[in-house]
Chains A and B, each alone.
Chain A
Amino acid sequence: MSKTRAIVTVIGEDGVGIVAKVATALAESGANIEDISQTLMQDLFTMIMLVSLDESVADFTAVKERLRAVGEELGMKIDLQQEDVFRFMHRV
């Protein structure tokens, strides 16, 4: 089953339980977290995850919407983008 690699970005004010909530949503969508990092983007907490999606379990749009809803609950902005965008931009 081919996997879709994507980047999850979580941006907002730091708080308790962010990682747990996002990880749970991803697990329930059949997605695997391959790497995770966090940083500050202009004083905003930014968590970045490289995930691989199994679209036979939940398709890209469904996972994106799920994450968006989790973001709303947490008061944060959560995006999902195919990793090609980042790979294309920063590699020759």
Chain B
Amino acid sequence: MLFDTSEIVETIRMVQQQGLDVRTITLGVNVADCAADDVATLAARIHDKVCRVAEKLVPAAEEIEDRFGVPIVNKRVAVSAIAQVSQSAQGEDLAPVALAMDRAASEIGIDFIGGYSAYVQKGITPGDRRLLGSLPAALSTTERVCGSVQVASTKAGINVDAVRWMGELMKQMADATADRDGIACAKLVVFCNIPEDNPFMAGAVHGPGEGEAVVNVGISGPGVVRAAVEAAPDISLIDLAELIKRTAFKITRVGELVGREAAQRLGASFGIVDLSLAPTPAAGDSVANVLEAMGVDQCGGHGSIAALAMLNDAVKKGGAMATSSTGGLSGAFIPVSEDAGMVAALAAGTLTLERLQAMMSVCSVGLDMIALPGDTPASMLSAIIADAMAIGVINHKTTATRLIPVPGKGPGDSVQFGGLLGAAPIMAVGKVGAERLLARGGRVPPPLGSLGN
């Protein structure tokens, strides 16, 4: 027998019934060589380079999809952090660069282009300042542009001046897109310890040490893991960890294959596979449901953190063996609006902001796609961000926030972003904050644990 029938059937089942897919192929493109003396030229150069380098991304992905029979849901591009690339370009307004990125994305047929980003964990240069100031305009007048700002790192601590400003910017961004439920905020991620090669949006950016053109793959498969766990309700935790590990291996292998193929077809290097379990709003594609299959009564209830810690770790272990190079975030995602199980848990009152904050310390991302009341003050947003950054700094991990204060809505209301961004009930935020703490400004210095040498 030249093949194993049961293996073939298992693979078919994963794809056709359990929602196994490649969540994204993201082409990282270096645009540092597009630097120019003025913003208009910079914008044009970035547009032209992205169109040239990523021209074949969509056709190549479609061909791979056709040949391998695994859906590749998204094709995306991430460019070098624009705040770095644009420092020498004269001009008061940087938004033309965002518009150029948006046009390029539309021309090559991708849905998101990341990299409208800045690194300000230690200080804010004039170039950084210009980019940050342009965020409300840039993210409200474009469809496909995503941005990210690193305000903290384990080595640098937390730039509280930047954190305060981010809270204010988010309010401005929400107001600028008040007619669309503040959607500009859904395209910005605030980071601690940002990965250089994360293929997922909105935080994807082509990191400073990367090469010219790199293919990074984000796989997914919460449905596959859930099905495996559901089929084994009585096994011990150690056997369950092993089962999840093996399942994660298989899922990640698909990412490895697709990444190698894509890199070859595009003449780019193969970067990493990000083996994150990333949910979508579709039924059965929920990370919350995986926790519930593991045995937590509802995601957000007591026991959720232990279950998530185990899940995240088992996914990493299985995935690590499956690929030549892991990277990105690689763990379990908990984006609230994009996970039907999370939305249900929120509506039932089982999942709270406080629980998510705790879960963030044991899994990949952070407070992701969280819809908040529109009247949440900027300083409250900043305090929430500061808390998330502190968890990342102390624990040497990536944490991030993607908070959306929805203008005109409050707890009990719900917001529909549509598509992959999903829909979510507005979460209640406490009234007690730390305005005086933040008003001190300056930086939280890096922790003792950062002295690793």
Q: With the chains together, A38 CA to B253 CA distance in Å? A: 25
B12 in contact with A60 (CB, 8 Å): no
- The stretch that binds A, out of B1-9, B95-103, B118-126, B198-206, is B1-9
Are B3 and A88 closer than 8 Å at their CB atoms? no
Residue of B nearest to A82 (CB): B67
State how many angstroms separate the Cβ of B139 from the closest Cβ of chain A. 38
A88-B253, A89-B254 as given contacts; A81 in contact with B69, CB under 8 Å? yes
Q: When each residue 1-41 of chain B gets 1 if its CB lies under 8 Å from chain A and 0 otherwise, what string results?
A: 11111111111110000000000000000000000000000
Across the interface, name the chain B residue whose C-beta is closest to A34.
B2
How far, in angstroms, from A61 to B65 measured CA to CA in the complex?
A: 11
Flag whether B358 is at the interface (Cβ < 8 A).
Answer: no
Residue B66 is within 8 A (CB to CB) of chain A in the complex = yes
Q: Is the CB of A9 within 8 A of B8?
A: yes
A61 in contact with B66 given A39-B9, A89-B254 (CB within 8 Å): yes
Q: Which residues of B contact A46 (CB under 8 A)?
A: 9, 12
Residues in B neighbouring A64, C-beta threshold 8 A:
66
Question: A89: which of B2, B5, B67, B253 is its contact (CB, 8 Å)?
Answer: B253
Residues of A57-75 contacting chain B, CB below 8 A: 60-61, 64
Known contacts A9-B8, A46-B9, A64-B66; decide if A89 and B250 are in contact (CB<8 Å). yes
Query: By the criterion CB–CB under 8 Å, are B250 and A81 in contact?
Result: no
- B225 touches A (CB below 8 Å): no
B1, A85: Cβ atoms under 8 Å? Answer: no
* In-complex Cβ contact of B13 among A41, A50, A90 (8 A): A41
In the assembled complex, the CB of B146 is this many whole angstroms from the nearest CB of chain A, namely 30
Contact in complex: A85, B11 (CB < 8 Å): yes
Given A35-B2, A92-B321, also A79-B69 (CB < 8 A): yes
What is the CB-to-nearest-CB distance from B371 to chain A, in angstroms, rounded to a whole number? 37
Residue in B9, B253, B257 whose CB lies within 8 Å of A41: B9
Distance, CA A82 to CA B12, complexed state (A): 13
Q: Cβ of A25 < 8 Å from any Cβ of B?
A: no
- Contact A85-B4, Cβ < 8 Å, known A46-B9, A64-B66, A90-B250: no
Residues of B within 8 A of A83 (CB): 3
Distance in angstroms from A49 CB to nearest chain B CB is 9
Q: How far is the CB of B21 from chain A (nearest CB, A)?
A: 12
Q: Flag whether B256 is at the interface (Cβ < 8 A).
A: yes
Partner of A35 from B1, B68, B253 at Cβ < 8 Å? B1
B4, B11, B12, B70 pick with most chain A CB within 10 angstroms: B12
CB contacts (< 8 Å) of B253 on chain A: these are 88-89
**Interface readout for B298-338 with A: 1 if CB under 8 Å, 0 if not?**
00000000000000000000000100000000000000000
In the complex, whether A76 has a CB less than 8 A from a CB of chain B is: no
Q: How far is the CB of B247 from chain A (nearest CB, A)?
A: 11
B63 (CB) vs chain A CBs: closest residue: A61
Q: Which residue on A lies nearest to B69, using beta carbons?
A: A81
A86 to chain B, nearest CB (A): 5
Chain A residue contacts of B69, Cβ below 8 A:
79-81, 85
Min Cβ gap A53→B in Å is 11
Q: Which one of A38, A79, A84, A89 lies within 8 Å of B7 (CB-CB)?
A: A89
CB <8 Å contact, A37 and B254 = no
A85–B5 contact, CB under 8 A?
no
A35: chain B residues within 8 A (beta carbon)? 1-3
Near A by CB (< 8 A), chain B positions 239-291 give: 250, 253-254, 256-257
Verify if A18 is at the interface (C-beta below 8 Å from B): no
Q: How far is the CA of A80 from the CA of B250 in the complex (A)?
A: 20
- Which residues of the other chain, B, contact A38 by a CB distance below 8 angstroms? 5
Give bound CA distance, A83 to B67, whole Å. 9
Query: Shortest beta-carbon distance, B275 to chain A, in Å?
Result: 14
Task: Determine the distance from Cα of A45 to Cα of B231 in the docked complex, in whole angstroms.
Answer: 22
Instruction: Determine whether the beta carbon of A85 is less than 8 Å from that of B3.
Output: no
Known contacts A35-B2, A61-B66; is A7 also within 8 Å of B8 by CB? yes
A48 at the interface (CB under 8 A from B): yes
Which of A61, A84, A86 contacts B8 (CB under 8 A)? A86
Nearest CB in chain B to that of A80: its residue: B69
Q: Using A83-B3, A85-B69, A85-B254 as known contacts, list a sample of 14 further A-B pairs with CB atoms less than 8 Å apart, ordered by residue number in A.
A: A7-B8, A11-B12, A39-B6, A41-B13, A48-B5, A50-B2, A60-B66, A81-B69, A82-B68, A84-B68, A86-B8, A90-B4, A90-B11, A90-B250
List chain A positions with a Cβ less than 8 A from chain B. Answer: 7, 9, 11, 34-35, 37-39, 41, 46, 48, 50, 60-61, 64, 79-86, 88-90, 92
7 CB contacts below 8 A, A to B, read A39-B5, A46-B9, A48-B9, A84-B257, A85-B257, A89-B11, A89-B254
Pick the 6 closest A-B CB pairs, nearest first: A81-B69, A35-B2, A88-B257, A90-B7, A88-B253, A89-B253
